[in-house]
Amino acid sequence: MAITKEDILKRAQEQNVKFIRLQFTDILGVIKNIALPVSQLEKALDGEIMFDGSSIEGFVGIQESDMILKPDYNTFTIFPWRPQDGAVARLICDVYKADETPFEGDPRGALKRVLAEAKEMGFTMNVGPEPEFFLFLKQPDAKNPDGIPTNIPHDNAGYFDLGPVDLGEDARREMVITLQEMGFEVEASHHEVAPGQHEIDFKYGDALSIADDIETFKLVVRIIARNHGLHATFMPKPVFGINGSGMHMHQSLFTADGKNAFYDPNAKDGLSETALYYIGGILKHARGFAAITNPIVNSYKRLVPGYEAPVYTAWSLSNRSALVRIPARRGLGTRVELRNPDPACNPYLAIAATLKAGLDGIKNKIMPPEATVRNIYKMTAAERKECDIPSLPSNLKEALEELAKNEVIKSALGDHIFRLFMEVKEAEWDEYRTNVDQWELDKYLSQF
């Protein structure tokens, strides 16, 4: 049942809400918010709150700065970690221009546009994310009461280890409880492979709600970690020599009558032609959307062979060295697992770009090659070439070049987001390229 304006006003009064945060996301995936006293809630619900869009990176210039926030009523929730006597609530908003038309630079709006395209083709999309993160110790600092984040893991635990080895168990338990209080259906949480690395999985849902949830999830994890004296990071590869953090995305399409469009009990492996075409589109455009699913310089330190991260654009039923894996479950649970995204991505743009790739595969009946059963990491370059298994981009610069020439993925973003994303990311690459880092000093300073 849809939540109404009256429902929100009543709940805010009953729970003694004093402040409202109107949240939205910039092109880089960073949450922004405007805090309002509860006296302005009705005005906010009517979509009458404006802000200066020129102050947000990648939005608009100063000459067209007036932006409007229109809240999605279904995203109303109370922040459990704030005092309940004078509670704080939030609403996630769509961004509109002053003329009441959707702002083309709003990432949430970009996802809505691609979802509308899918709906015209007769599909809705479900997504199930698997976000990983690290918990690190902090270094005491006289000038900063919270301390300075380090990349020193809080433990030396491994996959599925429990306390007392896993010192982050209490923090992770509180994260799960907090998420549940905010309406998440958490399915599992555990220690990951690397020291200090964790994963919390929540139930799949419709693509837009899951993109909202990913942003909320990252906010909750950081706040609860800080409350435990730890630093949580979604940086893909914060420590050399150990596994990085990914965010595998399980994706499925459903028809209007509630059937899983990827399942065909009479087809080989139970996969419909729609599923195969979707996989074909994903593989065809994987190099083009890599800059969106893996958007920072550090992303490509994770995407190297040997650390369980996918590097090669192939698919398989069970082979975890492939970019796309099809989990064993069939029927309503038939789905595609895309393994290259990392949690630094903007979830709205990442889901929009990958869905667009899959839809292009369906529209143009792009059949993928045969599923790969061999361990691709152990194949030689010549063997991969013979099997037509290309690699993902090896760095952000290469990924940006692939994005720039991929018209399908560019259309998913729209001209505004594409142009601003490229400007920001090319500047990021140039800064990285010209920076002198500690490795270079250690390697060369005394030698030359």
Looking at 190, 320, 374, 416, which residue is catalytic?
Answer: 320
Q: Amino acid letter at 224?
A: I
Looking at 215, 339, 342, 402, which residue is catalytic?
Answer: 339
Looking at 26, 90, 106, 130, which residue is catalytic?
Answer: 130
Distance separating alpha carbons of residues 151 and 149, to the nearest angstrom: 7
Looking at 337, 342, 360, 402, which residue is catalytic?
Answer: 337
Looking at 52, 64, 187, 386, which residue is catalytic?
Answer: 52
Active site annotation includes 100: no
Active site annotation includes 337: yes
Active site annotation includes 11: no
Looking at 26, 192, 342, 360, which residue is catalytic?
Answer: 192
Looking at 199, 213, 215, 342, which residue is catalytic?
Answer: 199
- Cβ atoms 130, 190 nearer than 8 A: no
Active site annotation includes 104: no
Active site annotation includes 132: yes
- Cβ atoms 192, 199 nearer than 8 A: yes
Distance separating alpha carbons of residues 108 and 352, to the nearest angstrom: 9
Active site annotation includes 199: yes
Active site annotation includes 423: no
Sign of dihedral through CA atoms 367, 369, 371, 375? negative
Looking at 106, 132, 155, 213, which residue is catalytic?
Answer: 132
Catalytic residue list: 52, 130, 132, 192, 199, 248, 320, 337, 339
